[in-house]
Amino acid sequence: MKTDVLVVGAGFSGAVVARQLAAQGLQVLVIDKRTHIGGNAHDRTDAHGVLVHPYGPHIFHTNSLRIFDFLSQFTAWRPYEHRVLASVDGQLVPLPINIDTVNRLYGLDLDETTIQDFFDRVREPRDPVATSEDVVVNAVGRDLYETFFRNYTRKQWGLDPSELSASVAARVPARTNHDDRYFTDRYQYMPRDGYTALFERMLSHPNIRVEVGMDFFRHRGRLKARHIAYTGPVDAFFDHCHGRLPYRSLRFEHEHLPDTPRFQPVGAVNYPNEHAFTRITEFRHITGQAHSGTSIVREYPQDEGDPYYPVPRPENERLFKRYDALARQEHDATFVGRLAQYRYYNMDQCVGAALKAAEYVLAALGRDAMDTAPDAPVQPAAASGM
Ligand X SMILES: Cc1cc2nc3c(=O)[nH]c(=O)nc-3n(C[C@H](O)[C@H](O)[C@H](O)COP(=O)(O)OP(=O)(O)OC[C@H]3O[C@@H](n4cnc5c(N)ncnc54)[C@H](O)[C@@H]3O)c2cc1C
Binding residues for ligand X restricted to 4-23, rule: CB under 6 A: 8-14
Q: Which of 131, 153, 287, 346 binds ligand X (CB under 6 A)?
A: 346
334 binds ligand X (CB under 6 A): no
Number of residues that bind ligand X (CB under 6 A): 34
- CB closer to ligand X out of 263 and 345: 345
CB atoms under 10 Å from CB of 51, counted, come to 21
Binding residues for ligand X restricted to 65-124, rule: CB under 6 A: none
Question: Which is nearest to 216 in space by CA: 238, 237, 195, 241?
Answer: 237
Q: What's the closest the beta carbon of residue 19 comes to ligand X, in angstroms?
A: 13
- Give me the phi and psi of 139, to 5 degrees please: -90, -45
Among the listed ranges 95-103, 135-143, 169-177, 341-349, the one in contact with ligand X (CB under 6 A) is 341-349
351 binds ligand X (CB under 6 A): no
Q: What's the closest the beta carbon of residue 13 comes to ligand X, in angstroms?
A: 3
Does residue 63 contact residue 186 with C-beta atoms inside 8 Å? Answer: yes
155 binds ligand X (CB under 6 A): no
Amino acid at 251: R
- CB closer to ligand X out of 19 and 58: 58
- Residue 176 vs residues 13, 82, 87, 182: alpha-carbon distances, Å: 35, 19, 21, 14
Q: Which of 19, 39, 235, 365 binds ligand X (CB under 6 A)?
A: 39
Does residue 282 contact residue 294 with C-beta atoms inside 8 Å? Answer: yes
Q: Which of 310, 337, 352, 385 binds ligand X (CB under 6 A)?
A: 337
CB atoms under 10 Å from CB of 181, counted, come to 16
327 binds ligand X (CB under 6 A): no
Q: Which of 7, 30, 31, 364 binds ligand X (CB under 6 A)?
A: 31
Q: Which of 17, 26, 59, 296 binds ligand X (CB under 6 A)?
A: 59
Instruction: Give the C-alpha separation, 360 to 362, whole Å.
Output: 5
Question: Which is nearest to 1 in space by CA: 27, 35, 37, 34?
Answer: 27
State the residue number with the nearest CB to ligand X.
Answer: 39
Among the listed ranges 66-74, 275-283, 345-353, 360-368, the one in contact with ligand X (CB under 6 A) is 345-353
Element (H, E) at 218: helix 216-219
| CA atoms in the 13 A half-sphere facing the CB of 45 | 8
- CB closer to ligand X out of 34 and 313: 34
267 binds ligand X (CB under 6 A): no
In 51-90 the beta strands, taken as DSSP E runs, fall at: 51-52, 61-62, 77-79, 84-88
- CB closer to ligand X out of 215 and 315: 215
Does residue 60 contact residue 190 with C-beta atoms inside 8 Å? Answer: yes
- CB closer to ligand X out of 143 and 303: 303
**Order of strands, sheet of 91-95, starting from the edge strand that comes earlier in the sequence:** 91-95, 84-88, 268-270, 279-282, 294-302, 247-257, 309-310
365 binds ligand X (CB under 6 A): no
- Residue 12 vs residues 16, 33, 111, 382: alpha-carbon distances, Å: 6, 15, 41, 26
338 binds ligand X (CB under 6 A): yes
Q: Which of 22, 140, 168, 339 binds ligand X (CB under 6 A)?
A: 339
Q: Which residues sit at the interface with ligand X, rule CB under 6 A? A: 8-14, 31-34, 39-41, 55-59, 215-217, 231-232, 250, 308, 337-339, 345-348, 350
